[in-house]
Amino acid sequence: MLYTLIWVWVLLPIWAQASQEHFNRNDNSKQLQFEKYSFNRFELKHYRETVKDLFHFAHENYLQKGYPYDELRPIACIPKTRNFEDPDDEITNDVLGNFSVTLVDSLTTLAVMNDRPKFAEMVKLIEDTFPNKFNIDSTVQVFETTIRIVGGLISAHLYATDPSKKVYLGEEYKGSLLQLAKDMADRLLPSYLTLTGLPVPRINLRSKFDPISVESVSENNVAAMVSPIFEFTMLSYLTLDSKYADVTRYAMNKTWALRTELQLLPMSFNPQSGQCYTPISGVGASIDSFYEYALKGAILFDDDGLLKIWQDAYNSLNTNSRADWFYTNVQSTTGQLQTLWIDSLSAFFPGLQVLAGDVEDAILKHMLTLKLWNTFGGVPERWDFQTLAAFEKKKEFTPEDIKSFVPLEWYPLRPEFVESTYFLYRATRDPFYLNVGVAILESLQTRFKHECGFGGFQDVTTGEPQDRMETFILSETLKYLYLLFDVDNELHSTRDNVVFSTEAHPMWLTPKMINNYEQNKYFNDTVYREHLRACRKRDRKSALHENERTFMGGKLLRFAKSLFTADQEPTKDISTHAQPEPEEQPDASKPSVYEQMCFPVDFAAPHTDKPQWLHSHLLSHFDRLFEIDRRYNSTLIRPKHMQNVVPMELQRGFYEKWAHDKFAHSRPMPSTEALEIVLDLPGECQLIRLPDGSIHRETLGGRNKIRLEKIEPGKIDVYGRILDPQLFVSARCKDVFKSTCDKIDRLYTPSLLYRATVLNGINLPADANLTINRKTVFKTQREENTFRDLFGQNSYNQLMLECTPIINMLMQ
């Protein structure tokens, strides 16, 4: 105790001096003075208030120069309106419905910032703007209108009526926002009156379908078909009318029933027939919100059915699409790589992974978007991760070369990168993500701020500015950035189960609201009751009915081998086939795959003499921090306007403060090669992940995608280690079950071995094993015979491929 008091006495003057030097208030500039990158409360407050000022700058300009129209052009300082001359201009008119969308969509940002006076003022302005509600002759996209208008109004209504919130309006608020949300939902809901129950993409807010061409409603993407379930179910809880929840839930279930045997959803369908239009599957544009609302709906509404959809979809996605640094676009029926690009919307997915508990992989996926920002100063709408062979050895690149890597070159200040940064910081508290936020904030202050608002890049390869301020800039980008720095925000300490919509509108349900809905809900609308009855009747006669379909039809579909260097992703495969076995029903008593796999990452750093809180885990202990720069150096080419910009993770002040020189190092480039095997077997894929990272399988049911590393003495493996020749001395290559591999073990030392490094998208740590229970893996002799035809087994119980042991794949 005395020792502690002495140290306090010694350090107190130092702390006082530091406070005087770095954190005193400058009365002239009215800004806090601090040592940058210290990330103390003074600095975070400064950033928070800066974001707030930026929001009010853009919001006031919209009110003065853009309202009552939908958007404001930040450079020209004039309204951006829907194309009144051409109703068929879907690119413009899908979002701009002539309903002051910026006013509505930005309302919850004021609530999050606790600005009650401005929030109340804008609620009154919305009431005055829509005296006749949304009786507007505008054909709009159902999805965009739902997430921006319906979602924004519902969330703002929650804030206005919740006494625990700082913007609570009390008796002065009469429920107008909820009535407007209901009116808009009633105008959008007829889009679901199709033969399949799947919504068409567009509708006219006044006349429904009369002015709409067949071509404009013949294709709808998966995200648009399922996403209204979130906002419409919230509307049912608030109005007690269950038609909104029931109609949209049916569409969610019907869409999921259209999945392939690999449990992957193609990106788009004909909503009238259910015919597939786009067979690609991934996590980006056209499908992103399907994954988002399956998980978020399961959480907010405590819905086991939605959770099962999320579990199955995520497991299949990880098996078929997950690469080290991103999710690829694959063919939904085969799982093969389909395109060589990823899009900016996929940057949201790490935030969703945080919500699911898969923080470890979220860190990797977020890193790729960070590198894109470092390269282009923003996140291009599409970027090619693999280049043409002709470019691989080039040392200098022309602007035209760079454009060839960026098929869609614009960046409209989308929020997804900020969103994932926010969720990763909340999960890890690593200052690395605060630094990312600072870099984004500084870009908003300099590169993207114009006379009347904020605009992104029209072309990231040239730095050409974009004269458009989309509503999500105020609704999402600035909101997530504000929350990143606002450590004391009420959303971070509330007891409510708050879930953000895809448009960043906070939603929550209290026990009182849930009980009220369950006891008093009704469904009196005969039009939609009859519609659902007719749809279900057709389902009973159709192969689309989920209960009549057989997924994962009990086949050993493929034994795929794909050769690539260990730091690359596979691009081709060779397949063989076997006869099917009847599918076994999964054991419902076993833990779900989600329960077995969901382990948050452990951020405990090695013991040092420097306290943990004084350095960034990612900057100091993540040895793959610059792997992306090397692996994709042929397409991550900086354009001219980014040549002198320092990467955010290497900013001198940040690096010097938060890097631990004792541990910060980069993993060497591997010199090994790898191949993949893909097995489709009867049953359901279930696995148990052990504390050391090993994976245990009771069966090999379902689809199994295993990456094997070809290890040889003296080479560098994927873990950055030089392979010890001693590892090969005791290897056994003789097959104990058959004479195919008839070498005499004691006379033979192999120069090549295999090691499993990835199973179904899950990385195996160094020295971890993949174990299989020999007593339960085979249900029939035929299954065992088929398996033995593919794999051998040595006296160490290691499986062998082509007489080569897989040293960490054990039959026990």
pLDDT in tens, 68-81: 999 999 999 999 99
- pLDDT-derived band at 94, boundaries 50, 70, 90: very high
**Phi then psi dihedrals of residue 651, to 5 deg:** -55, 130
Residue the block writes with tokens 């969103």: 419
Look up residue 110 and give its amino acid. Answer: L
Confirm whether 451 is a catalytic residue: no
For range 482-491, the mean pLDDT = 97
Candidates 43, 288, 735, 783; catalytic one: 288
Catalytic residue (one of 105, 358, 409, 416): 416
Q: Residues of 41-70 as b/e, b for ≥16 C-beta within 10 angstroms?
A: ebbbbbbbbbbbebbeebbebbbebbbebb
Q: On the CB side of 618, how many CA atoms lie within 13 Å of its CA?
A: 25
Report the mean per-residue pLDDT for the chain: 87
Stretch 53-70: mean pLDDT: 98
Q: Is the pLDDT of residue 412 over 50?
A: yes
Judge whether residue 557 has pLDDT over 60.
no
**Would you state the structure tokens that stand for residue 269, as one six-digit string?**
């369908």
Q: Two tokens at 347? A: 């940057």
Q: What pairs with residue 449 in β-bridges?
A: 454
- Kindly tell me the burial class for residue 249, based on how many C-beta atoms sit within 10 Å of its own C-beta (0-12, 13-18, 19 or more): buried
Per residue in 563-584, pLDDT (tens digit) is: 445 555 544 333 323 222 323 3
Which one from 105, 144, 409, 709 is the annotated catalytic residue?
144
Catalytic entry in 94, 381, 409, 419: 381
Q: How confident is the model at residue 473 (pLDDT cuts 50, 70, 90)?
A: very high
State pLDDT tens for residues 428-460.
Answer: 999 999 999 999 999 999 999 999 999 999 999
Q: Maximum Cα–Cα distance for the chain, whole Å?
A: 90
Exposure of 610 by Cβ count < 10 A (0-12 exposed, 13-18 middle, 19+ buried)?
middle
Whether 12 shows a pLDDT value over 60: the answer reads no
Q: What is the pLDDT of residue 392?
A: 67
502 annotated ligand-binding residue? yes
Q: What is the mean pLDDT of residues 143-172?
A: 97
Of the two residues 210 and 412, the one the predictor is more confident about is 412
Condensed to tens digits (0 to 9), the pLDDT of residues 315-335 reads 999 999 999 999 999 999 999
DSSP conformational letter for 390: G
pTM: 0.89
Q: Known catalytic residue: 288?
A: yes
Over residues 728-759, the pLDDT tens digits come to 988 888 899 888 887 777 667 789 999 999 99
Catalytic site includes residue 539: no
**361 catalytic residue (yes or no):** no
State how far the Cα of 680 lies from the Cα of 700, in Å rounded to an integer. Answer: 9
pLDDT band per the 50, 70, 90 thresholds, residue 143: very high
Q: Decide if 352 contacts 295 (C-beta within 8 A).
A: yes
Task: Check residue 680 and give its pLDDT.
Answer: 83
